[in-house]
Structure 1
């Protein structure tokens, strides 16, 4: 979006002007992350998680490059190479734990960023493309994290790879060839490890490229805000720098305190003990479980325990698991309410806080629990509500719900006073 009142970029030196005329990188940064980007003045701390996720992606890329210098993508020595990093490489233990826990913090930021988008209607027009690119980023992050989980080649790595790639077998006709293509054979082995290492190294740079498109798309309509009301004038905005760079910086410092506490005092709290046992194809772990950020989708996968006519339960679970994320692509058209923010939608607010959010928490708990009762039944109930929320509740609410009156402007919502006529 073009803001007439946005501050213009003016190089301070002759060299800066020469550079701006030939390669306007400074102008691009100034207009995207500096004073040249007017931002709604009422953004709360839920708007900090996008930049936080970007910082942790950088942590993952930097630590990943260092780890790749010492890791051996060979099934015979992969486990030993990780132990070598932990024991012999200078500060290798810290880099490895920073990479492992950085993935968890990245997904925490991503999930809170998505949750904010769902509650404040950031998927609604004119921001559909921002949302769609965000879902693509999440799918790429899931693929990257899964492949990274396989690389230590411990028991949980091996059997996680076997179970997840085995899901493709359920797809008629093409499932088996896809599985063999992913693994480079009929079971996880050296070929699979090489494929996963290659893709795990490559995909973070692809994610970074899609993030650039995500930010580019964001700067066309401008940022959403807690009221969902569009910017009406200069009084509704403040420059991104220094207001939100300071706010993001303070929040980043707080997040890094938690990150370093996890890194130095409980680095294995979010991992699984079985992954410190070398991979053994002849010994199946008692409880195969993915990383915690996959648990809700894993619960949906396991919720289908019986065949439906001629469709096997395994295929139903696979379709449901992928559909649980793919349904997000259609949110801009499923929720047709003219009001964006959940703060002004009383019924939507109740279904979000007391329906969708507890449902996802239950799915997460069930996904990390053994496949037994009562977790299977709870997974089935939560899965049913999850799909009902997006496919039935949201479309229905957008038709029958009576929203509360919206403020006339962002300034009015912040100060309680109407926006002056001259802007």
Structure 2
């Protein structure tokens, strides 16, 4: 196998040069996250969240591996093993809270990352594969988070597992066998705990593998940018290092400050108090809710209350999964030639005053009791959610009058000032020595 950048980079240190000749890892790092990777010069702080998501995943893997050394996936002692971690293991409370709150912060940065992609058109050609792989990562995250939520074996863990796996029972003919296969029986018990623990441990490494594919797919067309204009000249770019490593480092510092504030001062704020009660199959909680990052989809699930041809429960299950699968078709639903929402005035209005409030309302209703007026509000918001992607967005892309795009990235940065080739622009045609 030959590497197209082989003639453009030569390590300075003899040891690194020896390694590079036999295993081109230094070249790979240099061209993936170093000065050899040219990045649009106008990226804003919303482009930090991809790196933050990668950091959050590493945090979850490290803390999860250590917690797994002390956890016992058996119905009789699972809850006690978590209490053992909290009380008897050195710094166990810190590891447990870091892992639990790390999942919430992982979803926070991923949700911001997704909405950044939605606004700036990161799903449009030629980056469709980047978007599709990102959605696969999101689905794997949701599966991993659900299985992890079951492991403490508190009241909400047990009943959450019973309710969510019970959704598969709504599928005609094959639903109940699938549900029993997932649980290893007729109700959540030892078999379910062992299966969920095994998959919860494995899936983060699968996510890491898909992230490598995600980054690989990104490096083929290069990063998008807030204007949506393609790179046309070397002065449109700057090296990823040190310009964006410094910017990402600043964003990581802000992330760690917010994460530490929650971790040390409000570690149970994002959880549910009922999960500190041991699982009891004979006592149903008054209000069964999943973790907060599932609330928008849980609201869509509960929005269907009337049987129409199919049972209401089945309609809810189909709508909940369709809410995510719909995003896979977004590159072909939005046919506007303009990528960035900054140059699409009508799209911007529906995005900020339609889609974002809709998702926030669904999230609020998903965490509220299944009663009026929350059910009715969930129905209205669910209808708008699907209408936004299936009706409004295609119509906007067809009839919208977009604003004039800048001629280049440099022009958008300099605002009409005299453009000169930046001394730090990357010219891939010249050899680089570092």
TM-score, normalised relative to structure 1 = 0.97
Q: 2:375, 2:126 → 1: CA distance?
A: 40
Counterpart in the other structure of 1:202: 202
CA RMSD of aligned residues (A): 1.6
Counterpart in the other structure of 1:381: 380
Alignment partner of 2:310: what SS?
A: coil
Shift in CA distance, 224/6, structure 1 to aligned 2, threshold 3 Å: farther
Does the aligned pair in 2 maintain the 1:7–1:35 contact within 8 Å? Answer: no
| Per-residue deviation, 1:175 | 1.1
Counterpart in the other structure of 1:362: 361
1:25-83 CA deviation, whole Å, 9 max, x = no partner?
Answer: 11111101010000000000000001001001000000000000000000000000000
Q: 1:8, 1:86 → 2: CA distance?
A: 52
Q: 2:287, 2:7 → 1: CA distance?
A: 58
Q: 1:202, 1:419 → 2: CA distance?
A: 51
1:10 counterpart = 2:15: no
1:154-185 CA deviation, whole Å, 9 max, x = no partner?
Answer: 00000000000000011111111111111000
1:402 counterpart = 2:406: no
Alignment partner of 1:268: what SS?
A: coil
Counterpart in the other structure of 1:190: 190
Counterpart in the other structure of 1:330: 329
Alignment of 1:55-204 (within 5 A): 55-204=55-204
Number of corresponding residues:
419
| Per-residue deviation, 1:226 | 0.2
Q: 1:415, 1:6 → 2: CA distance?
A: 34
Alignment gaps of 5+ in structure 1? none
Does the aligned pair in 2 maintain the 1:34–1:240 contact within 8 Å? Answer: yes
Alignment gaps of 5+ in structure 2? 428-434
Alignment partner of 1:238: what SS?
A: strand
Q: 1:133, 1:71 → 2: CA distance?
A: 32
Alignment partner of 1:377: what SS?
A: helix
Does the aligned pair in 2 maintain the 1:6–1:36 contact within 8 Å? Answer: no
| Per-residue deviation, 1:217 | 0.2
| Per-residue deviation, 1:14 | 2.2
Q: 1:172, 1:18 → 2: CA distance?
A: 62
Does the aligned pair in 2 maintain the 1:228–1:339 contact within 8 Å? Answer: yes
| Per-residue deviation, 1:326 | 0.2
Does the aligned pair in 2 maintain the 1:6–1:38 contact within 8 Å? Answer: no
Q: 1:53, 1:257 → 2: CA distance?
A: 16
Does the aligned pair in 1 maintain the 2:235–2:421 contact within 8 Å? Answer: no
Counterpart in the other structure of 1:342: 341
Q: 1:141, 1:29 → 2: CA distance?
A: 26
Q: 2:102, 2:120 → 1: CA distance?
A: 27
Alignment of 1:276-295 (within 5 A): 276-295=276-295
Alignment of 1:253-332 (within 5 A): 253-308=253-308, 310-332=309-331
| Per-residue deviation, 1:408 | 0.3
Does the aligned pair in 1 maintain the 2:36–2:240 contact within 8 Å? Answer: yes
1:307-354 CA deviation, whole Å, 9 max, x = no partner?
Answer: 11x200000000000000000000000000000000000000000000
Q: 1:157, 1:218 → 2: CA distance?
A: 37
Q: 2:6, 2:333 → 1: CA distance?
A: 35
Does the aligned pair in 2 maintain the 1:34–1:241 contact within 8 Å? Answer: yes
| Per-residue deviation, 1:9 | 2.4
Does the aligned pair in 2 maintain the 1:6–1:37 contact within 8 Å? Answer: no
Higher relative contact order (CA 8 A, sep 6+): 2
TM-score, normalised relative to structure 2 = 0.95
Counterpart in the other structure of 1:44: 44
Alignment partner of 1:225: what SS?
A: coil
Residue range with higher mean Cα deviation, 411-420 or 108-117: 411-420
Shift in CA distance, 187/26, structure 1 to aligned 2, threshold 3 Å: same
